[in-house]
Amino acid sequence: MQRIGILTSGGDSPGMNAAIRAVVRKAIYHGLEVIGIKRGFNGFIEGDMEPMRLGSVADIIHRGGTILHTARSEQFKTPAGRAKAWENVERFGLEGLVVIGGDGSFTGASIFHREYGLPVVGIPGTIDNDISGTDYSIGFDTAVNTAVDAINKIRDTATSHERTFIVEVMGRDTGFIAVAAGLAGGAESILIPEHPFSIEEVCHKLCKGYRRGKLHSIIVVAEGAGSGLEIGKQIKERTGFDTKVTILGHLQRGGTPTAFDRILASQLGARAVELLMQGATSKMVGMSAGKIVETNLDLVLGQKKTVDLDVYRLASILAI
């Protein structure tokens, strides 16, 4: 093996740069060449690719975003698009590909591998943490800390008033960010798609809290569980409480990655290179039970990962 490609795809997440750095430096350390592919599969199709050197990844470990840029590619979903990408594989002499992204990106990589045989290794990079085969995806820890930081700030003002605060966090169809941020932030309620809830119940809990002397309540809402603004409106209608809503949105995707995300990204990136060198054909690297592990890409794509409801319940017990 002499030359590998690397791209970031789908929604970006903090720590992707640390993963790129690890792949590039680990590969160069072992004598490989690395071709950086810009804007995800789009750049792969268009041949927007160039060699990366040690210096290409200097001083990026602490930067949010991805220096390779990212995009969602409609064209790569078509055989014609993938055929063009294959031309670039041949043109640049790639013998392996590292794809940093989420489910959608891995699906594309997996199909491409099946069609053309190029060895691919996926690195899970998404703040949503909704990828099987790894306990943590790169960016999740940073996103949770960003959400918790927001809850902290709201808590400051909450203790000065008598109000209900709603914080809408990301997570697509899952409640990973909501549960972790809600537990760590000491939120009174956490609304997630994995656990049914009714507004009546939420209001009942709020009223009980106020009767017991709670001066304020913070409710974390996963975007997959409903709109923060809509839920706020309903609570106000039913309880009359002054309800204030914060929608974090894409700021959860940015920021300097935490130490955890950088270390995870460094380990996964290095392991991805080792796997390609050892002849892996279609794998994802991940962290499971504290260890760096690999899983077949198809297995990753076939499974749905859901929130640990024990942790969800713990958050509820500790917020009494």
Residues from 91 through 120 that contact a second copy (CB under 8 A)? none
- Name the phi and psi angles at 102, rounded to 5: -120, -160
Query: Please, what's the b/e burial string for 140-153 (b: 16 or more CB within 10 A of its CB; e: otherwise)?
Result: bbbbbbbbbebbee
Using alpha carbons, list the distances in angstroms from residue 115 to 86, 272, 299, 301, 302: 10, 21, 18, 17, 19
* Least gap, CB of 18 to a second copy (angstroms): 8
Neighbour-count burial for 3-30, b at 16+ CB within 10 Å, e otherwise: ebbbbbbbbbbbbbbbbbbbbbbbbbee
Q: Please tell me whether residue 25 binds a second copy under the rule CB under 8 A.
A: yes
**Collapsing DSSP states into helix, strand and coil, what is residue 180?**
helix
Tokens encoding 103: 């489910």
293 contributes a contact to a second copy by CB under 8 A: no
247 binds a second copy (CB under 8 A): yes
188 near a second copy, rule: CB under 8 A: no
Q: Is 313 annotated as a binding residue?
A: no
Q: Using alpha carbons, select from 269, 290, 14, 289 the residue that is nearest to residue 123.
A: 269
Nearer CB in complex with a second copy: 89/248: 248
Q: Which of 12, 48, 59, 128 is catalytic?
A: 128
Tell whether 72 is in a known binding site. yes
Q: Taking CB under 8 A as the rule, does residue 233 contact a second copy?
A: no
Candidates 152, 200, 204, 303: give the one binding a second copy (CB under 8 A).
152
Please report, for residues 29, 111, 122, 157, 273, the alpha-carbon distance to residue 98 in angstroms, rounded to integers and kept in the order given: 16, 14, 6, 45, 8
Q: By CB under 8 A, how many residues form the interface with a second copy? A: 83
Name the segment binding a second copy (CB under 8 A); options: 73-81, 107-115, 152-160, 296-304.
152-160
- Would you say 174 or 282 has its CB closer to a second copy? 174
63 carries a ligand binding annotation: no
95/305 Cα distance (integer angstroms): 31
- Assess 180 for contact with a second copy (CB under 8 A): yes
In the list 2, 50, 62, 87, the residue contacting a second copy (rule: CB under 8 A) is 62
Under the binding rule (CB under 8 A), the answer on residue 282 touching a second copy is: no
Binding-site member from 37, 248, 276, 297 for a second copy (CB under 8 A): 248
Neighbours of 257 (CB within 10 A): 28
Which of 88, 110, 137, 246: binder of a second copy (CB under 8 A)? 246
CB proximity list for 119: less than 8 A, separation 6 or greater: 95, 96, 97, 113, 276, 279, 280, 281, 282
Q: Is 128 a residue of the active site?
A: yes
296-315 residues in contact with a second copy (CB under 8 A) are 311, 314-315
By CB under 8 A, name the one of 31, 59, 211, 302 that touches a second copy.
59
Residue with Cβ nearer a second copy (122 or 185): 185
Find out whether 215 is annotated in a ligand binding site: yes
Helix 79-92, helix 103-116: angle, nearest 10: 70
The H or E element containing residue 282 is strand 282-288
Residue 225: DSSP 8-state = G
- Residue 69, judged by CB atoms within 10 A of its CB (0-12, 13-18, 19+), counts as middle
Binding site feature residues for ADP: 21-25, 155, 186-188, 212, 214-216
Binding site feature residues for ATP: 11, 72-73, 102-105
Binding site feature residues for substrate: 126-128, 163, 170-172, 223, 244, 250-253
Catalytic residues: 128
Binding site feature residues: 11, 21-25, 72-73, 102-105, 126-128, 155, 163, 170-172, 186-188, 212, 214-216, 223, 244, 250-253
